[in-house]
Structure 1
Amino acid sequence: MRERMPGLAVAASAAVVAWLVHLALPGLPLLTAAVALGIVVGQVPAVQRQLDGRLAPGLRTASRSLLRAGIVLLGLKLSLVDIANLGWVTIVTTVAVVVLTFVGTIGLGRALGLPGHQPLLVASGFAICGASAIGAMGSTVRARAEDQAVPVALVTLCGTLAIAVLPALWHPLGLSNVEFGHWVGAGVHDVGQVVATAQLGGPAALAVAVVVKLTRVLLLAPMVAVTAAVERRRHVAADGPRPPIVPLFIAGFLALVLVASFVPLPAPVLEAADLVQTALLAMALFALGASIRFADLAATGWRALVVGLTSWALVATLAYGAVLLG
């Protein structure tokens, strides 16, 4: 534990800085600020030596264990009752947006020759819930830090751009406030980015956006479980160590979804859990961002950028179609 403390302390300090940035710039989601701060810090040569040296054990713990704990607590934000109230058409179209974006992005990533697990991780980030999904899927398939770096950078870039681009298209596309919220919830990657974008449409738009977005977040569990099953079969064929059928943190996430749906929890408990969850994810996403080295991404950068921008356009287009159907 002693060797992990310096890295964990830096991650915690970075989370506080990200919170202060968010307070100064409310339109910038806290978790996006945390990832961006990590990316910036990771490019400074003098700091890189510390990140890759004595801070590395703590940052690895933050990007893995703390990320999983944060995802488990995220389950308390989801209510199956709220999701059911969306109606079956909205639920089905939201699932379709996630699955089609996921499959399409993986196919494009493989066609363009992205290395390692990058196609899967880019697909997870853009289809489900941003950098959190990348970390969850990366943990499940035991992806290298280098494989996670590109998807995290891409989903942060495109999610931040969405905060400006989607509102600019809102009225030209002829969407009402509620339809705009639906579009944002179905098409923007991170929960914080969804809130920052949808709040421009007022309380009704924000409420719809959050519930639609959390429906996508709920799909993280089956997507990770299916991926884990595929990985398990592949490792069996290769006679290697097998990952669990359902990762423990995903089981915990589902358990807290059920608690949030059927157990009336006091508001102070939910507020405390939300604070802890945000802090854990901010530390984890800073650590993921700090692992990114732009100099090391040059070889595959243009291909990854094409995949990321195409996936962003795909999810936004499919989400717009879902709004029209709804």
Structure 2
Amino acid sequence: MTAQLSEPKPVAQPAAPSSVASRLPGLVLCAIAAVVGLGVTKLVPAASPLLVAIILGVLAANLHFLPPSRPGHLGLLRDHLRPGLAFASRPLLRVGVALLGLQLALTDVAALGPGMLVVIVAVVTIGITATMALGKLLKIGRTQRLLIACGFSICGAAAVAAVEGVEDADETEVATAVGLVVVFGTLMIPTIPLLGRVLGLTELQTGLWAGASIHEVAQVVAAGGVIGATALGAAVVVKLGRVLMLAPVLAVLSVRKRRMLGDAADIKRPPLVPIFVLGFIALVLVRTTGVVPAEVVGGAKVVQTVLLAMAMFALGCGVRLAQVRSMGIRPMVLAAASTVIVVTTGLTGVLLVS
């Protein structure tokens, strides 16, 4: 009698960790960095939690607290953190950018008057166009010059991060652009008030100029505080007007990318308007209605700041300074030129309308 062989039983595979569990270690680390960034801002009001967070990420990566993945214990540590870092650098980033909209009311921006609204549009349009053209002359890659152009012309690190979400830039390009925002935006905190006095501008004119020229919202607040109380309010409103330009710029970039990719069936094209941009616009409209309590707006600002700081830390963790150094002096030259363009456009506009 022939023995009947039974089929071997399948070996049970260990259950894969849930996506939430796999992301938790990296997200916790990002949250800690965001809290540290907020703490530094309390001590140094001119600092931005976003900028502090990305610096912490770069330091963690380059001082070997987060070494590259490789065989052995240290590589395993990095592997455990990677899912959370990836989640923070994309989905959380986009939620944070959308929540920016809740800080803007169209009525506040409209109160600046049509002349100042034209100045805001001119600063963003001329700043991006001229920076892109100069970057091309300097033979800087399109994505790098686009990050610099939008970061310097719109709203600093938040704009860099938002453009990265549309353009799929690498971490080194993002870190370079944000680092340049830190350097040149910080230099303008004392420079704009000083130049305002030298040029004989009124406190209001200097405040409008600061809002139209300085890169980061936190840097604008710091400069406005130096100039005076009247200047501070005007500077912040003008700066928020520039933030509002983030939505149309991202929509244009998304449409342009779709056209560049064409109709190839094997390529996933981005949406006509990114969902987080639609969320940004929707929240601007909700804030404009005036139905949102001040407490909710304040709470949303804290959440938005924490999410963006977590995203910045995650992006910083992917940066290697050796790669940044390899990019050379050209991005620094472009950043200096972009600063001059934005500052000059802002001053000319303020003088014409005030």
Shorter-chain TM-score category? over 0.9
- Correspondence 1:260 to 2:260: no
Which position in structure 2 is the counterpart of 1:308? 335
Q: What is the CA-CA distance between 1:237 and the residue it aligns to?
A: 5.0
Following TM superposition, the consecutive aligned residue runs of length 4 or more in structure 1 with deviations greater than 6 angstroms are none
- Correspondence 1:23 to 2:50: no
Does the CA contact (< 8 Å) of 1:7 and 1:59 recur in 2?
yes
- Correspondence 1:83 to 2:109: yes
Does the CA contact (< 8 Å) of 2:92 and 2:308 recur in 1?
yes
Which position in structure 2 is the counterpart of 1:92? 118
- 2: distance between equivalents of 1:149 and 1:280? 17
Instruction: Tell me the SS of whatever aligns to 2:52.
Output: helix
- 2: distance between equivalents of 1:28 and 1:214? 18
Q: What is the CA-CA distance between 1:169 and the residue it aligns to?
A: 2.1
Percent of aligned positions that are identical: 44
Which position in structure 2 is the counterpart of 1:138? 164
Equivalences for residues 79-228 of structure 1 within 5 A: 79-228=105-254
Does the CA contact (< 8 Å) of 1:36 and 1:156 recur in 2?
no
- 2: distance between equivalents of 1:148 and 1:24? 26
Aligned pair partner of 2:97 in 71, 80, 91: 71
Letter in 2 for 1:306: V
C-alpha change, 1:312 and 1:289, in structure 2 (3 Å) is farther
Q: What is the CA-CA distance between 1:246 and the residue it aligns to?
A: 0.3
Q: What is the CA-CA distance between 1:95 and the residue it aligns to?
A: 0.4
Q: Structure 2: state its 5+ residue gaps.
A: 1-19, 69-73
Which position in structure 1 is the counterpart of 2:83? 57
- 2: distance between equivalents of 1:291 and 1:208? 37
- When normalised by structure 1's length, the TM-score is 0.94
C-alpha change, 1:52 and 1:254, in structure 2 (3 Å) is same
Q: What is the CA-CA distance between 1:45 and the residue it aligns to?
A: 2.8
Moved more, 294-303 or 231-240: 231-240
- 1: distance between equivalents of 2:318 and 2:340? 26
- 2: distance between equivalents of 1:9 and 1:269? 25
Q: Tell me how many residue pairs correspond in the alignment.
A: 326
- When normalised by structure 2's length, the TM-score is 0.87
C-alpha change, 1:39 and 1:322, in structure 2 (3 Å) is farther
Q: What is the CA-CA distance between 1:322 and the residue it aligns to?
A: 1.4
Instruction: Tell me the SS of whatever aligns to 1:45.
Output: coil
C-alpha change, 1:34 and 1:274, in structure 2 (3 Å) is same
Q: What is the CA-CA distance between 1:46 and the residue it aligns to?
A: 4.0
- 1: distance between equivalents of 2:188 and 2:143? 25
Moved more, 84-93 or 34-43: 34-43
Which position in structure 2 is the counterpart of 1:269? 296
Q: Structure 1: state its 5+ residue gaps.
A: none
Over the aligned positions, Cα root-mean-square deviation in angstroms equals 1.8
Does the CA contact (< 8 Å) of 1:150 and 1:292 recur in 2?
no
Equivalences for residues 217-256 of structure 1 within 5 A: 217-236=243-262, 240-256=267-283
Moved more, 313-322 or 247-256: 313-322
Letter in 1 for 2:239: K
Instruction: Tell me the SS of whatever aligns to 2:333.
Output: helix
